[in-house]
Amino acid sequence: MVLILSRGTRTSMIIDPPDGRIPPLTPEAEKTIAAKKEYLEALLQGTSGGRPGPISPRRSERPPDYNLDRMNRSDGPEDRGGPERCFGSNLPILAQSGTFGGVARIVQTPTAVGITILPCRDPIDAGRREAMSYSISTLLTRNLSDVFGENDPARRRAAIEEIFTEDCVFYEPRGVYYGRDEIDRVAGAIKATHPDFRYQPIAVPEEIGNGGRVQWVSGRPGEPPAYAGTDFIIARDGRIAAIYLFFDKLP
C-alpha cells in the first residue's frame, strides 16, 4: 500500500508492509522466472551472444509464459517485446497521444497489414523531438550500441542528447561522472582505446519499475570476448537519469 502525500518534496510513502520492503517471491513465482530465464538463454545458444554449440532444439518451443520480452527469435509477433507489438517506442507517437503528433493509417487484409505513419513537420519539431521518451529496454541497448559502442563523435553526442537527462550521472568502479558532457568524454575515451570492439548483450534486458539492467560482453568480432559487464539504469521521463556499470567475470 502506498500513501500519497500532498506536501513537501516526498511524493509518497510505503505503509504496507510496515518495513517498506517488497515481499519475497513465492516458490511458484521463482519457478516461473527460472523457467523463463532458462528458455531465453536456450534461444541464445549457438549465436554470437550466447553459449557455443548447436542451435538449441528448444528454439521451436512456445515460451513458458505469455511473452512480453524481446527474445532471440522472430518467428511471429508473439516473439517481439511489448513496446514493439503495441507501437510503443518503435514508432512515432501518434496525434493527440504524445509530443510528436501526426497521422496513422492501418489497413489490414487477410494476408498483410499496411501501416502509414505521417508525423507532423513544423518549426517546433526539434523541440518536440527533445521531449521524446524511450522504454527502459531501448535505453539499455541504445546506450551500449549508440553511446559506448559508437566511433563517430557526432552520432555518439546526438544519442547522448536523446537518451540521457541533462543531470545524468554515470557510476563506474573508477569514478563518478556528471552530465552529458562528461559521459560523452568518457565514452569517447573508452572507445578510442579499442575502436574495433563491439558490445553484445548476452541476455535480454530486464525491467522493474523505473530501473533495468542488461548483461553484455565486449571484444573483437569473431574472437572470444575480452571482458564482460552489467549496466544498471534508473530512468526518468523516458531517459537515463543514472547508470551504474559493474564488471563481471567472463561467461
Catalogue all structural domains in the chain, each as residue range(s) with its CATH number. 14-84 (no CATH), 90-130 (no CATH), 136-248 (3.10.450.50)
Q: Kindly give the confidence (pLDDT) of every residue in the chain, 251 residues in length, as a single tens digit, with 9 standing for 90 and above.
A: 545 555 566 666 777 787 777 788 899 989 988 998 888 888 888 776 666 778 888 888 888 888 777 777 877 777 877 766 665 545 544 444 444 445 566 777 888 777 666 655 444 444 444 445 678 888 999 999 999 999 899 999 999 999 999 999 999 988 999 999 999 999 999 899 888 998 989 988 999 889 999 999 999 888 899 999 999 999 998 899 999 999 998 87
Distance of alpha carbon 164 from alpha carbon 21, whole angstroms: 29
Q: pLDDT at position 177, please?
A: 94
Distance of alpha carbon 172 from alpha carbon 229, whole angstroms: 11
Distance of alpha carbon 7 from alpha carbon 4, whole angstroms: 9
Q: Is 45 helix (H, G, I), strand (E, B) or coil?
A: coil
Q: What torsion, rounded to 10 degrees, do the Cα atoms 149, 154, 155, 157 define? A: 80
H/E element holding 8? none
Distance of alpha carbon 194 from alpha carbon 148, whole angstroms: 11
Are 147 and 182 a contacting pair, CB within 8 Å? no
Under DSSP, the state recorded for 134 is -
Are 201 and 173 a contacting pair, CB within 8 Å? no
Segments in 57-198 forming alpha helices (H): 82-85, 125-130, 136-142, 153-163, 179-193
How far from 231 is each of 46, 51, 107, 143, 235, CA to CA, in Å?
24, 20, 40, 9, 13
Cell of 236: 526518468
Under DSSP, the state recorded for 92 is P
Chain centroid offset of residue 80 CA: 14
Distance of alpha carbon 141 from alpha carbon 137, whole angstroms: 6
Distance of alpha carbon 34 from alpha carbon 32, whole angstroms: 5
Q: pLDDT at position 133, please?
A: 63
Q: C-alpha angle with apex 76: 70 to 81, nearest 5 degrees? A: 20
Stated length of the chain = 251
